[in-house]
Amino acid sequence: MIVDEAYELANGVRIPVLGLGTWFIEGAAAAQAVRDAVETGYRNIDTAQAYGNERGVGEGARTSGLARHELFVSTKLAAEIKEYDAAVAAIDGSLDALGLDHIDLMMIHSPQPWADFRGGDYAEGNREAWRALESAYEQGKLRAIGVSNFRQGDLENLFAVCDVVPQVNQVLVHAGNTPSELLAFCAARDIVVEAYSPIGHGAILTNAEIAAIAGRYEVSVPQLCIRYTLQLGTVSLPKTADRAHMRSNAQVDFVISEPDMRTLEALRIRDYGEHSVFPVYSMK
């Protein structure tokens, strides 16, 4: 089953290819979502300081019934933190909030603060934040380190000074929004890409072309979309607190044909509905 499959990061750490996104799942609901996901077979749980639910996610992980080494927990350094000492403190803050002795993957959430997303020059600030992640990685607090929402230039800024190349880049990827050049750039440098919002926040559920392709495989549109991101070679992170959806999202052990993959890759569907107010969906 897909929940049993994993990629190997550049440092040898294995990351399950299907994970649970937890954005907008709060408190006790986050804890229960993690427990439900684990019961369904998931072993990869993604959160962030900005989500405000690290305590709930950590509680779910600790009460899931799994040994710590069986679960892969990721979080993200707040996008506004672009200074070394603040980043060091925030990393320790995440460890405390999660209640875990280590974090499997920690990322810089964005190359710019959210209020200036895709705006000013934060190159030096990103280098400082990265230096803090490297330090925590060397101390064993973090098993892997990476970035999120980074474009090629943002990555190259870190390459110029880093001791550890980012092992992951978590970006927006779904049928209708496939950053093919960035995917190829990351693959060439042994950076695993994680696809957030692989179902496009539901905006593509009513797309007739996608529905027709899903029908040919006798699967749902969300299942097709998740499978698409997996076949691109990314880690897929569908978000849900619904146990039935978790189960359905994991039932993707089918193969999309090459012609259908090309059709999905060529689609341009960027209608995020009410979520369009968030910077990552603004298409800047």
DSSP codes of every residue in 5-18 = -EEE-TTS-EEESB
3 state DSSP class of 138: helix
Hunting for tokens 């900005």 — which residue is that?
50
DSSP element (H, E) containing 214? helix 208-217
Phi-psi region of 189 (alpha: psi -120 to 50; beta: other; left: phi over 0): alpha
3 state DSSP class of 281: helix
User: Which residues, 6+ apart, have CB-to-CB distance to 84 below 8 Å?
Assistant: 128, 129, 131, 132
44 band by pLDDT with thresholds 50, 70 and 90: very high
Hey, what are 163's tokens? 């001791």
Asked whether residue 201 carries a pLDDT value surpassing 80, the answer given is no
List pLDDT tens digits, range 175-186.
999 999 999 999
- Tell me whether residue 196 is one of the annotated catalytic residues: no
The answer to whether 106 and 97 have CB atoms below 8 angstroms apart is no
- Can you tell me the distance from the alpha carbon of 269 to that of 271, in angstroms, rounded to the nearest whole number? 6
Q: What is the pLDDT of residue 272?
A: 75
- Can you tell me the distance from the alpha carbon of 284 to that of 33, in angstroms, rounded to the nearest whole number? 32
Catalytic residue among 7, 42, 51, 281: 51
User: Which residues, 6+ apart, have CB-to-CB distance to 194 below 8 Å?
Assistant: 19, 46, 148, 168, 169, 170, 171, 234, 235, 236, 237
DSSP for 223-235 reads HHHHHHHHHTTPE
Give ∠ CA 20-164-179 in degrees, rounded to 5.
50
241 band by pLDDT with thresholds 50, 70 and 90: very high
- pLDDT, mean of residues 112-139: 98
284 band by pLDDT with thresholds 50, 70 and 90: low
283 band by pLDDT with thresholds 50, 70 and 90: low
List pLDDT tens digits, range 16-34.
999 999 999 998 999 999 9
- Can you tell me the distance from the alpha carbon of 138 to that of 56, in angstroms, rounded to the nearest whole number? 27
Q: What is the pLDDT of residue 282?
A: 73
Q: What is the pLDDT of residue 202?
A: 67
